[in-house]
Chain A
Amino acid sequence: MEYAAVDLPTKIIWFKVQAATQVPIAIAITCFILEYAWPGRWLTRRNLTLLALPGLLAVVLILTDDLHHLSWSDFSFANGTIKPQFGPGSWFLLAFSFGVLGLANLVVFGWLFWHSPQHRWPVVLMLLDSSPDA
């Protein structure tokens, strides 16, 4: 929809819609991994609430960005794409998303490592490859 939009305000709306879904997606993937790896152990009602709160915060922060500009201070348009200038809220949400996805990665690899001894070396190699500076 952002590609098909003609004017900048419409492109910005779709950019914000996409951004608003990123943290909830990261949380949902983490919930899926926790529930799939150990059904009923980690994804308790309390943990689900604690995980969902940053997702709600992200959606509220992004949808009300015009009031406080905590997520993006400004938008520019170059070569057909929007170039946002990140604010402190965006950096926090980015760090949170990478944090929960990193945790999910560790859970998956930890699960594979302990439950499939024959796959330990492939797991170690994949972990090394998925490290941020790899």
Chain B
Amino acid sequence: MTSNYTYTPQIWPPVLMGILMTTLSVYCWRRRSVPGAIPLMVASLLATVWQLAP
């Protein structure tokens, strides 16, 4: 079985941003009673996927 992926240092900036966005979404979820927290959580969760895709 062959892998479709190989290691490249270019993955690190997206991975770090993905971790940051996930942390932000967890932070928003813990403060979900604040106005706008839930849309921001959704945006940061989607941004996590957006960051990890390239």
- Give me the interface of A with B, judged by CB distance under 8 Å: 1-7, 10, 14-15, 17-18, 21-22, 24-25, 28-29, 31-33, 35-36, 39-40, 43
Distance of A73 Cα from B52 Cα, bound (Å): 25
| B: number of interface residues (CB 8 Å) | 22
Known: A18-B54, A36-B35. A4 touches B8 (CB 8 A): yes
Distance of A24 Cα from B50 Cα, bound (Å): 10
Please tell me which one of the listed residues A2, A10, A22, A39 contacts residue B35 in the complex, with CB atoms under 8 A apart: A39
Residue pairs across A and B with CB atoms within 8 Å: the count is 72
Distance of A6 Cα from B4 Cα, bound (Å): 5
On chain A, the residues within 8 Å of B3 by CB distance are: 6
Q: Are B49 and A4 in contact (CB under 8 A)?
A: no
Binary contact readout B1-41 vs A (1 if CB under 8 angstroms, 0 otherwise): 00111111011001000000000000000000001100110
Q: Are A1 and B5 in contact (CB under 8 A)?
A: yes
Q: Is the interface of A mostly helix, strand, loop or mixed?
A: helix
* CB<8 Å pairs between A and B, sample of 25: A1-B54, A2-B53, A2-B54, A3-B10, A4-B8, A6-B6, A10-B4, A14-B54, A15-B53, A17-B49, A17-B53, A18-B49, A18-B50, A21-B47, A21-B49, A25-B47, A28-B43, A31-B42, A31-B43, A32-B43, A35-B35, A35-B36, A35-B39, A40-B35, A43-B39
Considering the complex, give the chain B residue whose CB is closest to the CB of A31. B39
Q: Are A28 and B46 in contact (CB under 8 A)?
A: yes
On chain A, the residues within 8 Å of B40 by CB distance are: 28, 32
Q: Are A22 and B50 in contact (CB under 8 A)?
A: yes
Distance of A90 Cα from B5 Cα, bound (Å): 28
On chain A, the residues within 8 Å of B8 by CB distance are: 3-4
Least Cβ distance of B1 to chain A in Å?
Answer: 14
Q: Are A4 and B53 in contact (CB under 8 A)?
A: no
